[in-house]
Structure 1
Amino acid sequence: MTSTSQQIRFFRSRIPAFACQPGCHDCCGPVTTSSEEMSRLPVKSAAEHQAALEALSCPHLGEHGCEVYAERPLICRLFGTTPRLACPNGCRPETMVDPEIEAGIYLFFHENRQVLV
């Protein structure tokens, strides 16, 4: 049986990286993530969560961008790497995520409890 942590590592290693448009945070809206990934993120206060939700933002988006970039959830990593989650500015990796990997990630989302970041 593969653990949730192993699944997350597997998917992370197969999502291609690419350079975003500097200063853009269009994909940093309210998102959900697995409880496992959420446990890796710094705890934010209820007020911080509420302010981010009201701004349609992420509580981990700071003045200089994502404050948890190294631990950002799978959904955040997936943005811009698939036509289903295309970057509104046209940024993308040279090779998009493999459709089978994408399907596996969506199955992971379905099978694992998701919480609001």
Structure 2
Amino acid sequence: MYQNRDIIARLRERIPSFECVPGCHDCCGPVTTSSEEMSRLPVKTEAEHEAALKEFNCVHLGPEGCTVYEERPLICRLFGTTPRMPCPNDRRPETMIDPEVEQEIHHYIATTRQVLV
């Protein structure tokens, strides 16, 4: 787990950031994430998970947007930073993510056990 924590920290540092539209949650939905990332998020009940899935939402989506924004998974951080996952509101960082970093993130996701958020 410590190795994954270090990988996640390194990848997070290399994902460019940008300001979302306040209150927007257009890219929020059920996603999968690594066990390491999941361990950083608040535990939700089965009923909360079922209610979110019924609406095709993320269980961590609140009335004002993401309730775990600072700890959001890598896949969530990619939205809007790559042409393959554009922001529906045309927001983006000044410089898009380096394709090699994006590939590293997809490799990490593909090679770690993923769980539904």
TM-score when normalising by structure 1: 0.96
Q: How does 1:1-117 map to 2 (within 5 A)?
A: 3-117=3-117
- CA RMSD in angstroms comes to 1.0
CA distance in structure 2 between the aligned counterparts of 1:108 and 1:18, rounded to whole angstroms:
23
1:90 deviates by 0.7
Aligned length: 116
CA distance in structure 2 between the aligned counterparts of 1:79 and 1:50, rounded to whole angstroms:
24
> Please, which moves more after superposition, 10-19 or 21-30?
21-30
TM-score when normalising by structure 2: 0.96
**Letter paired with 1:19:** E
Look up the SS of the partner of 2:56 in the other structure. coil
1:69 deviates by 0.9
CA distance in structure 2 between the aligned counterparts of 1:65 and 1:71, rounded to whole angstroms:
14
CA distance in structure 1 between the aligned counterparts of 2:38 and 2:23, rounded to whole angstroms:
25
**Letter paired with 1:7:** I
1:23 deviates by 2.0
Look up the SS of the partner of 1:3 in the other structure. helix
Q: Where in structure 2 are there 5+ consecutive unaligned residues? A: none
**Letter paired with 2:57:** S
Runs of 4+ in structure 1 off by over 3 angstroms are: none
CA distance in structure 2 between the aligned counterparts of 1:57 and 1:40, rounded to whole angstroms:
19
Q: Where in structure 1 are there 5+ consecutive unaligned residues? A: none
CA distance in structure 1 between the aligned counterparts of 2:4 and 2:107, rounded to whole angstroms:
12
CA distance in structure 2 between the aligned counterparts of 1:40 and 1:78, rounded to whole angstroms:
18
